[in-house]
Amino acid sequence: MSGQPYAKPPIIEVVVEFRFADPLKNAVFKKLVRRLRAPYPSRVEQHTRQAQIDFQNAQADFTDPVPQTVLTSNDEADRLTVRPDMVIWSRLAPYDGWDAFYPRIERDLQVAHEAIGFRKFSRLGLRTINRIDVPFDTDLLARYEDYFTINITAPWEALDHYHWRVERKDPKDGITTIMQSGTVQPEVPNTAAFLLDIDVITDAVPNKIDEILEKLSYLRGIKNSLFEAAITDKARATFA
């Protein structure tokens, strides 16, 4: 397991999702939350709802509310979301690297295992959202193509906004990768801001904790390769 290669990585959020094959019953869900919450000083109980909109018949269907508990550190950067159907770890920037993030997943998984026993997972996913701030040149243009290797070639000299998304399921290992990029609200003065969002997902999750963690490491390798393939040396220089 390697550490963080960049002093100032562009990651604004890294997320790891474990989805249960069978949703937890309410009592089990509550027990899991009780056992996981100790290291997290802040806890918010929420409910989520899904809406399905049928435009043709002008109807909207809402699912029953699903409970979720969001456990966070005082600075909101370390987050654990527990739901009956999934557990999600995330870390917001500043990101101190995988070696700082991963032990929390390992620790919480162990606690979960002791609390509710082994549960089969149907999906394992890793997502990183990167934000790259590109300075405007003296001609007031942000030359993002100098920072990204994947670009839309548009018939105009300059754009106001863009967004692209590509998705691929690898026929060999069945792993789905989604890459997205787009313009977002610039927050740093005199820059334009671009997201590079990478999801790596598998539906073939092993049945042993150590094998699951190995698979997570495999997903991370794919994610890192995609990230490095999508950026230029000029971008890398800004992360140093």
Partner 1 sequence: MNVLTYPGSRLTRSNASLMSGAATISIPSALGTRSSGTSDERVVPQPETLELRLFNALAGAKIWTAQVARHLDRAARDRYFHQLDVLHDPDEWFGTDKPVSLESYKGFIRFMLMLGGNSKPALALSPRGTLLAVWRAQDARLTIEFLTSARVRWLVAQPVGEEVERTAGDAGLDRLLALLKPYSPEKWFGST
Q: How far is the CB of 124 from partner 1 (least distance, A)?
A: 10
Name which of residues 79 to 98 contact partner 1 (CB under 8 A).
Answer: 79, 81, 86, 88, 90, 92-94
Residue closer to partner 1 (CB basis): 77 or 115? 77
Nearest Cα neighbor of 19 from 235, 147, 213, 201 is: 201
Name which of residues 6 to 35 contact partner 1 (CB under 8 A).
Answer: 8-10, 12-13, 15-17
Question: Following DSSP, what letter does each residue of 89-124 receive, concatenated?
Answer: EEEESSP--HHHHHHHHHHHHHHHHHHH----EEEE
Selected binder of partner 1 within 44, 100, 204, 229 (CB under 8 A): 44
Show the CA angle centred on residue 235, arms to residues 75 and 143, nearest 5°.
110
142 binds partner 1 (CB under 8 A): yes
User: Amino acid identity, residue 48?
Assistant: T
Q: Of the ranges 114-122, 152-160, 204-212, 222-230, which one interacts with partner 1 (CB under 8 A)? A: 152-160
186 binds partner 1 (CB under 8 A): yes
* Cα–Cα distance measured from residue 185 to residue 195, given in angstroms and rounded to the nearest whole number: 10
165 binds partner 1 (CB under 8 A): yes
59 binds partner 1 (CB under 8 A): no
Q: How far is the CB of 110 from partner 1 (least distance, A)?
A: 22
* Cα–Cα distance measured from residue 216 to residue 136, given in angstroms and rounded to the nearest whole number: 38
Nearest Cα neighbor of 230 from 199, 201, 198 is: 198
